[in-house]
Chains A and B, each alone.
Chain A
């Protein structure tokens, strides 16, 4: 058994729809070490959120999930609701883009954290109340005692996200999954939330999976990054070398499409992501790839070690990509 906080193996998710089967996630693996921040990036529809909703057991019944996701020797995929309920919160917790819809509008914020604590720990009401205030303090909410008695609508967007983080870490989970936690926030508030997440990783040793489309956010706080495209990981590695020398043409395309502070013409990736009802044969990116050759259509490329990171491109070694 590895010492990973979270270990995902060959995760696959399909949805039955009227038009056929949508293959949202097509074999994703990922190990996250304790105290590590792994950024999962990709464009809309790449399967980055669905993968982790599947891990959390939060997908609707129409989803068929196979593979494995282990946290603290507990298998999450295919487990009973009882096992999942116990694991969620105490072993693995998740925060979302929109904290307002995740908070109960008619209960005080403090009471919601207390509920979270009492669901997993045998702890008295008084103790739980004290702990709730402590948690609000940890995530940087000023006057936590007074704030605990307020309702979600009395908090700003950034403060609500702090409350969500407080709830998520209440039972000291091994893994925190953050799904676009700062996308709805202004940049100055985003900077505050990222700082809170960094502190939690450092002080509590929580493993963090940060799902985002913002490569800047990944560059700021992630140790490693997994780039996803069409339901698969196309590249994975340490952030510094990967941003400097991406080996996959998609990663390179993503980095190149961003403005770099000058007036040079931007370089979009031509075309659009494939339809996941009928994913293309072989490499899913080949239709948009300027380096594609006939062989790319033959088999789905697996992640292989190329230099210091792993890349799912059969031509990765011969291509000299730069950004």
Chain B
């Protein structure tokens, strides 16, 4: 077995913030990511899903050290990134790229897309003809070579995201962090970008960390799916297992909440309606972080934090009751014995 492309172990990121307490200003800590571990092998896609505030984007940025993690370990092809000298890191970053959600915000409006795509080549002082490489990249992502002279505003959303992908590919990376890459696109366009990402992966042997809140897209593209809630992984495993037999009550609720574009199953489906909202990461619940919204929470859940381990499901689940839970709330809707609505 070769060295994994990315190995994240016990990643922690705390943000220090100022909050008002009456007339005083108090420093408090937001625990955005609290001990997240996962591995991405060569040519593999790991999907990271969770609601807003779950810390999934923070994980993506910590992996590239775009923000400095508080603790843990991030190994890229066996090299520890945390604590690595900035100069060395910068050179290594050529192999790790990121694509953001909003391609309009991540492209300089005054720069032609050709210049934007060539910028990483300039920064990393790559020798050779940059223009040829830009044409090659444009064609690789399904754009025309004469597009290089145009400006971002002349492109549609889907095309701009292709430019963002071309720029990420410029330095032949082996890992790309895709942070909600298709969330801003209309569905008819989204499908084309998803197909492109799959083609590029097959062609170039890329590894992806695919961060998204759209669970159906994640299922489609991912080999492994990790479900985050309030800075922690609730469940991680092969995509089919997670979707066909989710074992964590949060995964079950999340899957049952996604509306499917099929009115027949939608009307038959039993739903687990979670109460309330995600608690604040400033003061997360004791024990299991999901317990305040969990339909099956018991006393032990407040006292003891469930470890993320395999409890007989074939993949790790962080729930005390994962094994005694009636499993199989398939996305197409069989019933669950708990508080289904």
Contacts and interface: CB of A to CB of B under 8 A. Distances in A.
Closest 9 CB pairs of A and B: A216-B259, A268-B192, A268-B191, A266-B191, A186-B51, A269-B188, A259-B220, A215-B261, A43-B186
A110 interface: no
Interface in B257-312: 257-264, 266-267, 271, 273-274, 277-278, 293
Contacts of B262: 219, 243
A54 B230 CA distance: 41
B259 A259 contact: no
Given A191-B273, A213-B186, A257-B187, A219 B257 contact: no
29 contacts: A43-B186, A157-B277, A158-B277, A188-B257, A190-B257, A190-B259, A191-B257, A194-B259, A213-B186, A213-B187, A216-B260, A218-B263, A220-B263, A243-B264, A255-B261, A258-B216, A259-B194, A259-B219, A261-B216, A261-B243, A261-B332, A263-B220, A265-B198, A266-B194, A267-B191, A268-B190, A268-B192, A269-B191, A272-B158
Contacts of A157: 277
B147 to A, nearest CB: 14
Given A188-B274, A192-B273, A216-B261, A266 B254 contact: no
A187 interface: yes
Contacts of A267: 191
A156 interface: yes
B190 A217 contact: no
Contacts of B264: 240, 243-244
A257 B274 contact: no
A186 B198 CA distance: 26
A257 B188 contact: yes
Contacts of B254: 187-188
Contacts of B194: 259, 266
A253 B156 CA distance: 19
The range of chain A's interface size is 35 or more
B219 to A, nearest CB: 7
Contacts of A189: 51, 277
Given A216-B259, A240-B264, A258-B187, A187 B216 contact: no
Interface string B173-193: 000000000000011111110
Nearest to B259: A216
Q: Pick the most buried of A213, A243, A266: most chain B CB atoms within 10 A of its CB.
A: A266
B215 interface: yes
A220 B253 contact: no
A188 B263 contact: no
Contact of A261 (B156, B187, B219, B271): B219
B158 A216 contact: no
A69 to B, nearest CB: 27
A3 interface: no
B98 to A, nearest CB: 23
A214 interface: yes
Contacts of B258: 187, 216
Contact of A272 (B189, B261, B274): B189
A2 B254 CA distance: 42
A92 interface: no
Nearest to B216: A259
A195 B271 CA distance: 11
A268 B277 contact: no
A319 B257 CA distance: 35
Contact of B253 (A156, A188, A253, A263): A188
Contacts of A187: 51, 213, 215, 254, 257-258
B217 interface: yes
Nearest to B50: A186
Given A191-B259, A220-B267, 6 more contacts: A190-B257, A194-B259, A219-B259, A219-B263, A239-B263, A257-B191
A106 to B, nearest CB: 17
A155 to B, nearest CB: 10
A230 to B, nearest CB: 13
B339 interface: no
B331 interface: yes
B172 interface: no
Interface in B232-269: 243, 253-254, 256-264, 266-267
A254 interface: yes
Given A189-B277, A261-B331, A254 B217 contact: no
A188 B51 contact: yes
